[in-house]
Amino acid sequence: MAEATAITVPVERTAPDTIRLERLLDAPVDTVWRYLTEGELRAQWFAGGSDARADGELDLVFEHDNLSSDEVPYPEAYASHKGAVSHEKVVRFEPKRVLAFTFGEGRNGVATFELFPDGERTRLVLTHSGIQSPTGGLDFGSGWSSHLAVLAERLAGRTVRNFWELHARSRETVAKALEG
């Protein structure tokens, strides 16, 4: 993995219903912003769907098959999510600085992405607040950690061979981080 994905704390719990992740990405803010807001680019690391717009609706289409360069079967535990569409609301849109949208059609809080230029790189801070699930810190933390690793690889011009293997490793790492 690229140096940009190297982190000492994969995720931290900042409140009972809130997690925070921070990554340094090897791309300028303009590029990272496009990967957050443009559905076609977002599909390469997270979920495709519609483009994010100020005060707009945001459809997220989850096709995790597209995240692995190898042909990898969906794990049974996640099979029900294949092709799922989630209808979200953009609640904050400050071009090239902040994007926030509801998650789980508003049932699982808000995901807020903040971008900070760091030379030719970008420091991305993701805060997911209002998580309702009792296992949400682990579930969302490992999911976001995995997806941000895919984003870092895409921005570096590389792919991830097996997203689900990456996700399993992220889950173990995040579980340890949240225990401490």
Q: Where are the domains of the chain?
A: 3-179
Sign of the torsion formed by the C-alpha atoms of 69, 72, 77 and 80: positive
pLDDT, tens digit, 9 for 90 and up, residues 32-56:
999 999 999 999 999 999 999 998 9
What is the value of pTM for the model shown?
0.92
The whole-angstrom separation of Cα 39 and Cα 14 is: 29
Q: Which CATH superfamily is domain 3-179 in?
A: START domain (3.30.530.20)
pLDDT, tens digit, 9 for 90 and up, residues 68-113:
999 988 888 888 888 899 999 999 999 999 999 999 888 899 999 9
Phi/psi-derived region of residue 31, left when phi > 0, alpha when psi is between -120 and 50, beta in every other case = alpha
The whole-angstrom separation of Cα 125 and Cα 115 is: 7
Q: Are 6 and 174 in contact (CB under 8 A)?
A: no
Tokens read off for 176:
């340890």
